[in-house]
Amino acid sequence: MANMFALILVIATLITGFLWCLDKFIFAPKRRERQAAAQQATGDALDKKTLKKVGPKPGWLETGASIFPVLAIVLVVRSFIYEPFQIPSGSMMPTLLIGDFILVEKFAYGIKDPIYQKTLIETGHPKRGDIAVFKYPDDPRLDYIKRVVGLPGDKVSYDPITKQVTVQPNCSSGQACDNAVPVTYSNVEPSDFVQTYGRREGGEASSGFFQTPKNETREDGIRLGERKETLGDVTHRILTVPIAQDQAGLYYKQQNQPLATWIVPPGHYFMMGDNRDNSADSRYWGFVPEANLVGRATAIWMSFEKQEGEWPTGVRLNRIGGIH
């Protein structure tokens, strides 16, 4: 089921819509009749202000009917066109930063009903390289955002040492796969970001990501590495932690496949975060069913300077625009 806000919005729209129809088709004609009779009895001597007193509209009815068009527009736009989301973590850095507010194109992967998220009209399917929002398969109440790396039938392999991906399409039939999708990498360069490690009260581990000039250091910080990954026709930047070793033992182990290799089942997708060593993605929990897809991230409409779980400290106006 969709999140609680969507359910409340639908219920509120239905209630106010009922009040709007009640007023338009029942109460409004009766008010006009009373006003016409009063005007006729006084020989057209009543002004508009006085006429309103003859057939007053109840406050509750006026309020409900007046907000219906607003709620209806919000419901249509949010359910079928665009929905705003906030980026809460650094798993998609450097493409998306903590504090970015994005617009998600809801109709990219099908027109769905706002309550049960069942596809009503098919409009398209994810492509390799798309940045997609989806319901986390292990807890559909949570919205995740990752990059689409594997399509149905793809064989996806990840080397935890070189931190590189290989993709071979059309492998689900058990026959020989098609030629591998071109996946290339640039050399690793120092990024603009330093990741810090520390302890919160109570001893819980915490981390932060700070843009820091490359000639400066930060206490308890490690400068992340950055390289360009070209996945088919899509080129984007990814981050890695130079000293990090992937926890390959925690990878999702698919039956009849070696560790760190997965064949994407029909109707499912393999997702990865651009911040490769700081992303809990399909490597760890498996595949995303097509039914869980929410939409494609298309633009940043606001961005606040902040860390995970903290209040904003500024605004990043330079980040407003398309997602690259």
Report CA torsion sign: 242, 245, 246, 250. negative
Mean predicted confidence (pLDDT) in 154-160: 95
Is 130 exposed, middle or buried, given 0-12, 13-18 or 19+ CB atoms closer than 10 A? Answer: buried
Whether 1 has a pLDDT exceeding 50, the answer reads no
Last residue of a domain, one of 23, 54, 81: 81
For residues 43 and 62, state if they share a domain. yes
Specify whether the CB–CB gap between 152 and 240 falls below 8 A: no
Q: Are strands 100-105 and 82-86 parallel, antiparallel or unpaired?
A: antiparallel
For residues 37 and 114, state if they share a domain. no
Whether 205 has a pLDDT exceeding 70, the answer reads no
Nearest-Å Rg of the Cα atoms of the chain is: 27
For residues 138 and 29, state if they share a domain. no
For residues 135 and 184, state if they share a domain. yes
pLDDT bracket for residue 174 (50, 70, 90)? low
Is 278 exposed, middle or buried, given 0-12, 13-18 or 19+ CB atoms closer than 10 A? Answer: buried
Last residue of a domain, one of 37, 61, 81: 81
Locate 238 and state its tokens.
Answer: 């990814």
For residues 144 and 168, state if they share a domain. yes
Whether 92 has a pLDDT exceeding 50, the answer reads yes
- Residue that has been written with the tokens 């998306």 in this structure: 96
- Which residue spans within 27-128 are E strands per DSSP? 82-86, 100-105, 111-112, 119-121
For residues 146 and 221, state if they share a domain. yes
Supply the pLDDT for residue 46: 67
Whether 61 has a pLDDT exceeding 80, the answer reads yes
Last residue of a domain, one of 21, 49, 81: 81
For residues 50 and 189, state if they share a domain. no
Catalytic residue among 112, 135, 146, 163: 146
Domain range for 112 is 88-322
For residues 166 and 211, state if they share a domain. yes
Specify whether the CB–CB gap between 79 and 59 falls below 8 A: no
For residues 191 and 134, state if they share a domain. yes
Supply the pLDDT for residue 177: 84
Hey, what amino acid is at 225? G
Whether 198 has a pLDDT exceeding 70, the answer reads no
For residues 154 and 177, state if they share a domain. yes
Domain count, the chain: 2
Catalytic residue among 79, 91, 191, 303: 91
Supply the pLDDT for residue 132: 98
Q: Is 207 a catalytic residue?
A: no
- pTM of structure: 0.86
Phi, psi of 283 (to 5 degrees): -60, -30
Phi, psi of 205 (to 5 degrees): -70, 145
pLDDT bracket for residue 10 (50, 70, 90)? very high
**What is the CATH classification number for the domain harbouring 137?**
2.170.230.10
Whether 204 has a pLDDT exceeding 50, the answer reads no
CA distance 37 to 32: 9
Mean predicted confidence (pLDDT) in 70-84: 93
For residues 264 and 165, state if they share a domain. yes
For residues 195 and 299, state if they share a domain. yes
The residue ranking higher by pLDDT, 33 or 130, is 130
Q: Identify the H or E element spanning 303.
A: strand 293-305
Supply the pLDDT for residue 206: 57
